[in-house]
Amino acid sequence: MTQMQVPTVARGMSADVQEEIIRIAFNSYDRLPLFEVLMERTAQALGPALRLSLNVQPDVVLQGIDYVACEDALASAPDPGLVVLVNATPWDDALAVTIDPALMFAILEIMLGASKAKDAQAGPSTGRTRAFTNIEKRLGGTIVGVVLGEVATAFEPLCKVSFATTAIESGPRDVVLAPAKAGCVRVTFGITLGGREGLLCLIVPHQTMEPVLPLLAQSRPAGQVGDDPTWRGQLSQSLTDTAVTLTAVLHERDLPLSQVLDWKPGQVLNLGIDTEHEVTVACSGRNMFRAAIGRRRNGSVALRVSAELDLIGEQRENGTTD
C-alpha cells in the first residue's frame, strides 16, 4: 500500500490557524467597486459640508472600506460611543453611523464654542468614557445628518435615497441591524477638526442595499457614474481656487547665434520695440492674452489686459495683423 503524503504546509499548520482560515473563507464577501467610488466622493464632499456646519476647516480622509459580518462590524464600534440607527428610503431597511468618543467630544466642544485647537488641547476630549446625554446625542445626530446628506448626494446619479434617524444610542450593545453572520460594508472616515482627530464609521448591511446591489458590484470608472452636477461644481470650485503662475513675455526676436555669443556685460540690446508695445501673458507655457504695461501709484509694474489671444488668432485669420 502506498502511503499518502500530507502537504508540508498542512502538516505544520495548527488547528487554530486552520479554523481561522475556514472562518475567513466562510465570511468572505464580494467587493462592491461602485460603492467604493461613491464613498470616495462622499469623503471629498464631507470637508466643505462640515466646514459650513461647524465653522472650522476639517480634514476628512477615507481610511478604509471593509467587508465583514454585521456582528464583527458592531463589535468594533466604540463602546461607549455614539451609534445612530438610520432607515433608508426607498430601500426600507436599516444602517448605522458610529462616532468614537474623541471625535464626538471634539464636535460637541466646537458646537458649544471651543473652536480653537488650543482650547481642545486644554480640554479632556480624549479621556472621557461616560455615556452621552440626550442633548449631546441630538447634537451628534445633527452632524450625522450632514454626513448622510452627502451620502445621499453621492448616490443620486445611481438612485435616489433618503435617510431618517430612528434611534441614537451610546453604544452598540443593543443594536441589531441584520443577522449576525450577514455581510455588511464598514466605511471608516478619519476626521480632524481644529487639531482634534477621531473616526466616523458607516455600517451598511448588504441586505439594506439589496435593490441596488447588482449595480454597486459593477466595476466602473468614477467619471461614468451618471450626471453629477454637485460633483462637477465641487471640482470646478477646486480648480478655480488653484494657484497658477503667469509669465509676461515682453518681446521675442530671432537672432544669429554668432551675434548672441558676441554680447558683453553692460551692452545695450536694441529689441526694436517702443513704450507702447504690449506683452504676451502665458500660463503653463500657453499664451493666454495680450496686455499693456503700466505702473501703479506705489511704483509697481502693472498689466492691463487688452485682448484674448483667441480673438487675436481670429483677426489674423481675417487678414489683419497686430
The three grid cell numbers given for residue 10, joined into one nine-digit string = 498542512
Instruction: Report DSSP letters for 87-147, one per residue.
Output: EEETTTEEEEEEE-HHHHHHHHHHHTT--SHHHHHHS-GGG--SPPPHHHHHHHHHHHHHH
Looking at residues 232-256, what average pLDDT do you find? 74
Q: What is the mean pLDDT of the chain?
A: 78
Closest Cα to residue 99, out of 157, 50, 27? 50
- The whole-number pLDDT of residue 280 equals 85
% of the chain residues with pLDDT over 70: 75
β-bridge partners, 38: none
**E-only strand ranges, the chain:** 58-69, 82-89, 93-99, 162-169, 183-193, 196-205, 246-249, 279-283, 286-295, 301-308
- The whole-number pLDDT of residue 301 equals 77
- The whole-number pLDDT of residue 28 equals 52
**Residues in Cβ contact with 214 at an 8 Å cutoff, skipping those fewer than 6 apart:** none
- Evaluate if residue 272 carries a pLDDT over 70: yes
Closest Cα to residue 307, out of 298, 296, 315, 317? 315
β-bridge partners, 94: 87
Looking at residues 105-122, what average pLDDT do you find? 66
Superfamily of domain 246-317, CATH level 4: SpoA-like (2.30.330.10)
- Would you give the distance in Å from CA 171 to the centre of its chain? 27
- Evaluate if residue 6 carries a pLDDT over 70: no
Flag the least confident range among 15-29, 41-55, 128-142: 15-29
The three grid cell numbers given for residue 193, joined into one nine-digit string = 477638526
Q: What's the CA gap between 297 and 220, in Å, rounded?
A: 56
- The whole-number pLDDT of residue 321 equals 43
- The whole-number pLDDT of residue 115 equals 47
pLDDT band at 213 (very low <50, low <70, confident <90, very high): confident
Q: Which residue has the higher pLDDT, 217 or 198?
A: 198
Numbered ranges of CATH 3.40.1550.10 in the chain: 14-238
CATH topology classification for 14-238: Chemotaxis protein chec (3.40.1550)
Looking at residues 219-239, what average pLDDT do you find? 57
pTM: 0.59
Numbered ranges of CATH 2.30.330.10 in the chain: 246-317
Other CB atoms within 10 Å distance of the CB of residue 14: 8
